[in-house]
Structure 1
Amino acid sequence: MQNVTGWLLIGVLLAGLTTTVPSMVVAKQNLSESVTSNSVLSATTAPSMYASNHTFQKSSSNPLHWKGGNVTLTTTSTKREGVPAFEQHVIQSIVVTQGKQQYTMQTADWEDKLLQITSVAASDSKAWIAIQVERSAGSSLILLNLETGEWRNLQDRLHQAGQKNVETITAYAWAPSEDQIAFSYGDTSKSTISIYNAQQDRLMRLPRTTNYITTSLILWQKEGTWLDYISEYPSDQFILYRYTLASNKVKPVKKMKRQEFQEWIKLNQALRSK
């Protein structure tokens, strides 16, 4: 009787295994396929996928200026006393010259003083330029319309939209169409990504799958239908995410270690220098 009971138990166990094993195999195959498809995308194979930005070059002459095509930016600055050395030289004004047209942004009375321009990039239509400026704490991003002289501080625009903790704007990239710019902002513990349509003065915050600590680079696909960005979360763990405009959805694409992350930083620099 005991032998019969034992064989019955073995039969039940085997039957259970035959129903669960196939599902386990399928799950393993799906995971393998996902990892394989994600690992194909790398900093060396991806350049042809992404749009480049029209960045300006910084001169080494005095006065210091930035130049892109027929557009030149020159700053006037003053020296303050009684402040830390890195805050002594502040920008009084930014002069933008395009042919015979000239625009001047007076920044001397800004409460948070501007210290230096760190990058300049033109939109694909060449109608707008983005000026990233270092402040005492963080960076600002200013957009200037080269046709009208109108300028907008994106941090002010975010505050108007009710956004909080906009301490710095760390990364940005112009879309290859429609004068749209994607940028990341936040503080030392949280990063958010938004897209601003300069033509329509429309701000849209991207959804996210988790909280990000930092976002170091943003890359637009050449047709402008989606964009990729690399964010850090948790600390020292980097993930490449993809946002698709048509679906308004974000999905993680691949994880990467710091060494691979540095290769993507180099790719971003190469795209911004074209």
Structure 2
Amino acid sequence: MTITDSRPRTATTPDIRVVRRRLGPGRRIPYAFWIGPLLLLAVWSAGSATGLISPAILTAPWDVVVAFGEQWTDHDLLGNILSSLNRAALGLGFGIAVGGVLAVVSGLSRIGESLIDGPIQIKRSVPTLALIPLFIAWFGIGQEMKIVTIALISLVPIYVHTHNGLRSIDGKYAELAETIDIGRAEFVRHIVLPGALPGFLLGMRFAVTSSLLGLVVVEQYNATAGIGHMITLAEQYGQTDVIVVGLVIYGVFGYCADSAVRLVGRRVLAWRRTLED
């Protein structure tokens, strides 16, 4: 996004675009988000080709590609991917919905905060993965336990960052709303919720990666399909290349999801002036 200044240009009024590019990170590079992953792939390939990275430690990229093809044609890799995506999407969806609602209730009401914020902060100090044995006793070892675990992991970052965004809105906006006699509902809809959107999107980035972390763990428990199930079988048979295939798929999931959230954030928050623009 390019910011222009409507004020007349004078010797003492520098161009905002020039100042921000000189003092900020600089001009945006097209497709820059691919540079880091491609560099990592190049280092991995070079290390494998020169022998600096032993196949016993990390399978070479070309062997991973071969293993990917074998899993795709002979072992229903697509079905495993879709099964993992379904678990992650359901858990993440429930976590976003519940975390967002709790954050709004707690952020807009002192009573809501006194009832909700304490239990959420207690939950933050208790790792969700440590609760898996309890979830197994409550929900069994099937799909419900896996979705609940992912949802609970995703809920916390959504709540924390959205709540912080709501409480960080400048109080001058409330004073202005009272001055021009804006009702509470309209104030919340037009000022509070848009102001909390950056915090919500930041929470989304953490929630996406957290949901994948939960997915990696829960798919080790009695899963009959999914990337985690594929990795568990590969571990039993000593197939390091297949394990790396699963890890690469998890990494691609996380990177693409995070990039999508960042892209949505830039589009939705186009009205904000930041150094990223």
Higher RCO (C-alpha under 8 Å, 6+ residues apart) = 2
Q: Which has the higher strand share?
A: 1
Q: Which has the higher helix share?
A: 2
Could you state the TM-score of these two structures normalised by the residue count of structure 2?
A: 0.24
Could you state the TM-score of these two structures normalised by the residue count of structure 1?
A: 0.24
